[in-house]
Amino acid sequence: MSQPPPTSAFAPTTDPLTPDRDITHAHFQAGDTVVVLKGVAGGELWGDAMRVVAPSWHTPTDEDGWRLRDATGGAQSYVTAHPRYLVHLSRRCPDCLIYLRAMEDTLLTRFADRDELIDCGWYTTTALGQLVHIADIRNGR
């Protein structure tokens, strides 16, 4: 064995903020770089960085969403997400920073003693390329 495998853990965790986040579709625009937060790694928030491509209907919520391109996504390079899943990386705006800080406060405290990559299990991608938060599945969609 040359290298130990990277450690990671699936840790189903309640998402305290994303389901109630109030952010408009127009807050984002094509060309923005965003991240979808998925957990914690090495004492920092961890997620998938993606580029906003175009407006697209988010069928799991029946609301306006955004088509995103994940440069490392392989077979699922394009997904459609609801605006409340997204956090701006390309610019520092108060709306996204407040959410980011609140997520940091909650998750970094909860997983303060863990070094491995923690996947909180909030998101799945449907066969039709719709990214859906676990709270939106439970809403009966």
The residue ranges that bind Zn ion (CB under 5 A) are 88, 93, 95-96
* Distance (Å, whole) CA 94 – CA 97: 5
Smallest separation (angstroms) from Zn ion to the CB of 100: 9
Phi, psi at 121, each rounded to 5°: 75, 30
For Zn ion, the closer of residues 64 and 95 by Cβ is 95
For Zn ion, the closer of residues 9 and 93 by Cβ is 93
Smallest separation (angstroms) from Zn ion to the CB of 9: 29
Smallest separation (angstroms) from Zn ion to the CB of 35: 11
For Zn ion, the closer of residues 35 and 120 by Cβ is 35
* Distance (Å, whole) CA 127 – CA 34: 22
Tally of CB atoms within 10 A around 122 = 21
For Zn ion, the closer of residues 88 and 133 by Cβ is 88
Question: For the chain, what is the largest distance between any 2 Cα atoms, rounded to a whole number of angstroms?
Answer: 51
Smallest separation (angstroms) from Zn ion to the CB of 50: 14
**To 5 degrees, how large is the angle CA 22–CA 27–CA 31?**
140
